[in-house]
Chain A
Amino acid sequence: MRLFGHRLTFTATLGLVIIAINLIIAIGAPLLAPYGQASILGDAWADPTPQHLLGLDDLGRDLLSRLMYGARMSIGLAVVTTCLAFALGITAGFAAAVLRGWVDTLLSRLVDLLLSMPTLMFAFIVLSVLGTNLSVIVVTIAILDAPKVFRLSRALAMNIAALEYVEVAKVRGEGLWWLMRREILPNALAPLVAEFGMRFSFTLLIIAALSFLGLGVQPPNADWGSMVRDYRDMINLDAMAPLYPAAAIAILTIGVNFVVDWMLAIHSHAHGDSA
């Protein structure tokens, strides 16, 4: 099988299948889930039955349904956050590379400042001051993630901006937006897409970690991180409940990384052989 004209490896195919299943569940959760995420359907920790394949949770809610709604919340948040981080990081990174001079210095030092702060700690402080509103979570994590994207996109754009076709556009009198959007971005896309996959995994983990610590997604909304927290005591009672959301996080992260590895391999190949 081929994708973008390159042969798919076994792991890449597996990764794509994992991602596809997760996306279908995330998008179709309200249709696919047998019950609502907050509806109480029976006794706490009821055993699995044909109606409730994974059993019920601490409040008597259907575990499978919560897992599916959790996918919607966790993946949705991670995608939105990563997109925002990339929008910020790429714009600033490309602008720094094209404009150079004081713009570059200013942005780079700002980024150094942000990078010098421990991500999780910083997120704690901001979230405990501003409250655990979803949009606050998204913006905070995006701002904390953007510097890493900035670093990569600046380095990529530096190399591309030195090429003559960018010079041609500059000499023609094109504006900054055109240079970034039309000349640089299409030629930096491959490594950026790979980075997107990797950043997505990290964001997914950070949001899960914040939720686990009680600063992320708030009840009654289901989210994989908070589900692990809510069910964690059950591990002592030999129940599977906390393992399902934890496994979901792990499997999706691994799936994304399989695809990213494959993309990076193509990218480095193309570089080595073109000479």
Chain B
Amino acid sequence: MSGRRVGDDILQIDNLRIEARNDRGPGPVLVDNVSFALKRGKVIGLIGESGAGKSTIGLATLGYTRRGCHITGGKLDFEGRDIRTMTAAERRALRGPGVAYIAQSAAASFNPAMTLFEQICEIPLRHGIMSLAEASTEAVKLFRELDLPNPETFGNRYPHQVSGGQLQRAMAAMAMAARPDILVFDEPTTALDVTTQVEVLASFRKLIREHQTAAIYITHDLAVVAQIADDIMVLRHGKTVEYGTAQQILQAPREEYTRRLVAERVAGHTFREDLATDEPPLLEVSNVVASYHSLLRVIDNVSIDVRRGDTVAVVGESGSGKSTLARVIIGLLPRQEGDIRFNGTSLPPKLASRSKEQLRRIQMIYQMPDVALNPNQTLLEIIGRPVQFYFSRPRGQVRARVLELLRMMDLPEHFIDRRPGELSGGQKQRVGIARALAAEPDLIICDEVTSALDQLVGEEILRLLKRLQDELGIAYLFITHDLGTVKRIANKVAVMLKGKLVARGETAQVFSPPFHPYTELLLSSVPEMRSEWLDDVLARRTQTLQAVKQAQIQLAS
């Protein structure tokens, strides 16, 4: 610990180059000529979309590359020693006390058969830095600093006994246990709910500040990094796009790409106001109750109306029942009580009892385009099947229709014989939309359609959906946790909390005061670009949380 001074260069990366190699020869360059310096007590944010090479850089600071990747150029200077030339033993000594890593999915990083204590104390013990007694005192101290409940006994639990946000913080404790000089955060809050993200982010910031640890914070979300980083580096396809102080990047971006990333958040949207209000609703969900194995009510007394041309957003955190609601409407999970009427007629609860015509008119687009498309079918088969199945068209007409749909999706026509594996994430999602449209539906249920996509790609998908709505008059039911998106695309919104509807109405009205306390909590948790945002939210947090708790008690009674 001696000689540690804030402001010293601790890590210096010069012209780092990392290449992938497979058994057929050299592959793509993952990181190309990236340089930055990290000072003690400072945080650098690495920003970029998937494939930008940010995680690869993060892992390289641990002297590690994924299988098939090799560091082929540059220097990784850690306190005067080059990580590249270290022996395996020296690298092992580096990991833990020198550089520590916090992964995106804490659930996959903990051993489910060991208590948290055992796993957190393992690192200092193995490195011989502390005795067991010292390590456990240190762990309790870290739990307290990270605002974990019952810090004295928290470590006795197993990973499955704590929540996702707590586990992510426990992972930070594990990384801090050997008092590293550098912490590498790799998308640590991406898998969390917005409200949890705020708390975890606050804990991380506190931890970094109190210990004066240097950190590399990797994320795709500029607003998150704005809260925590001193410097920001924007990466794209392994190259540095822009590197500067957080303030400069956020407020005066020099490069076009950075400007687009910053601008995405502020873009506004106008709704159609000309919707006929006297028309009967297309979809009428009234007082629906549903549960799995008739145990807990996952959907409790929910009512929603969707008119032709509407975009209705259903928002809530994980476990709020919003995806289950989609399954109930589509018939995969039969409802127990209440009614769902489509175009004036009641839909049978079970999928098997619905007519082909009823099935055709409600289509769905999924969150993960990777698993929503059969990897062994060509786009002709994927998109053509609904055309053939619902309209019994001859082969030639099916092909013509698929080509037409591909054009509508701005996909090249020669893609028709490709398989999903040959497409990018955004292109796959377009195929998913084309498949839904092939059935010529009245209503499309969009289940988190943009959350698995990169920011700019997701934005294009939303624009495409909007254009299709204008052209074809389709109604959307948007299931999402991203309130930023909701504000921009939905004209109506329903907020769900633990299976119950807490607020419903026109977006403008639900999202403006007087709010329901839970809506306010959700809205306040959406990260904003300004760096004071986190402090502002935390200042009002306790009050908002109390209001939510009261509202929940009211709902239950």
Contacts and interface: CB of A to CB of B under 8 A. Distances in A.
A229 interface: no
Interface string A124-167: 00000000000000000000000000000000000000011101
Interface in A69-95: none
Nearest to B447: A164
B371 A165 contact: yes
A200 to B, nearest CB: 24
Interface string B362-382: 001010100111111100000
B67 A273 contact: yes
A172 B389 contact: yes
> Considering residues B68, B371, B375, which has the most beta carbons from chain A within 10 angstroms of its beta carbon?
B371
Interface in B386-413: 386, 389-390
Interface string B336-371: 000000000000000100101001000010101001
B351 A170 contact: yes
B386 A164 contact: no
A7 B386 CA distance: 38
A186 interface: yes
Nearest to B355: A173
A221 interface: no
Given A164-B368, A164-B371, A172 B351 contact: no
B58 to A, nearest CB: 17
A230 interface: no
Interface residues of B, number: 26
B368 A171 contact: no
Contact of A172 (B359, B373, B377): B359
Nearest to A183: B374
B274 interface: no
B375 A174 contact: no
A187 interface: yes
B504 interface: no
A171 B366 contact: no
A170 B371 CA distance: 15
Interface in A258-275: 273
Interface string A181-194: 01100110000000
B413 to A, nearest CB: 23
B498 interface: no
Contacts of A167: 332
A164 B67 contact: no
A104 to B, nearest CB: 16
Contacts of A7: 23
Contact of B364 (A163, A168, A174, A182): A168
A186 B359 CA distance: 25
B399 to A, nearest CB: 18
B374 A165 contact: yes
Contacts of B331: 171
Contacts of B95: none
Contact of B351 (A165, A168, A171, A186): A171
Nearest to A165: B374
Contact of B386 (A172, A183, A273): A172
Contacts of B335: none
A166 to B, nearest CB: 8
B430 interface: no
Contacts of B356: 173
B385 interface: yes
Interface string B64-93: 000110000000000000000000000000
Nearest to B381: A182
Given A171-B351, A172-B386, A173-B389, A165 B373 contact: yes
B54 interface: no
Given A7-B23, A173-B389, A174-B389, A168 B435 contact: yes
Contact of A171 (B359, B373, B375, B376): B359
> Considering residues B331, B356, B385, which has the most beta carbons from chain A within 10 angstroms of its beta carbon?
B385
Contacts of A163: 371
B330 A164 contact: no
A174 B364 CA distance: 15
A186 B330 contact: no
Contacts of A172: 359, 385-386, 389-390, 439
Interface string B318-341: 000000000000111000000000
A167 B447 CA distance: 13
Given A167-B332, A168-B364, A187 B374 contact: yes
A174 B386 CA distance: 10
A168 B372 contact: yes
Contacts of A164: 366, 368, 371-372
> Considering residues B332, B374, B389, which has the most beta carbons from chain A within 10 angstroms of its beta carbon?
B374
A162 to B, nearest CB: 9
Interface string A5-18: 00100000000000
A182 B332 CA distance: 20
Contacts of B68: 273
Contacts of A165: 371-374
A6 to B, nearest CB: 9
Contact of A173 (B67, B359, B368, B375): B359
A273 B390 CA distance: 38
A171 B374 contact: no
A64 B487 CA distance: 82
B26 to A, nearest CB: 17
A38 B372 CA distance: 59
Nearest to A184: B374
Contacts of B364: 168, 171
Contacts of A170: 332, 351
Contacts of B385: 172
Contacts of B373: 165
A173 B23 CA distance: 43
A193 to B, nearest CB: 14
B419 to A, nearest CB: 11
A259 B375 CA distance: 25
Contacts of A174: 389
A7 B22 CA distance: 12
Interface string B44-72: 00000000000000000000000110000
Contacts of B67: 273
> Considering residues A168, A172, A174, which has the most beta carbons from chain B within 10 angstroms of its beta carbon?
A168
A186 B382 CA distance: 14
Interface of A: 7, 163-165, 167-168, 170-174, 182-183, 186-187, 273
Given A170-B332, A171-B331, A187-B374, 16 more contacts: A164-B366, A164-B372, A165-B371, A167-B332, A168-B364, A168-B366, A171-B351, A171-B364, A172-B439, A173-B389, A182-B377, A183-B374, A186-B374, A186-B377, A187-B375, A273-B67
Minimum-distance CB pairs A-B, first 5: A186-B376, A164-B372, A165-B374, A173-B359, A163-B371
15 contacts: A7-B23, A165-B371, A165-B374, A168-B372, A171-B330, A171-B359, A171-B364, A172-B385, A173-B389, A182-B374, A186-B376, A186-B377, A187-B375, A187-B376, A273-B68
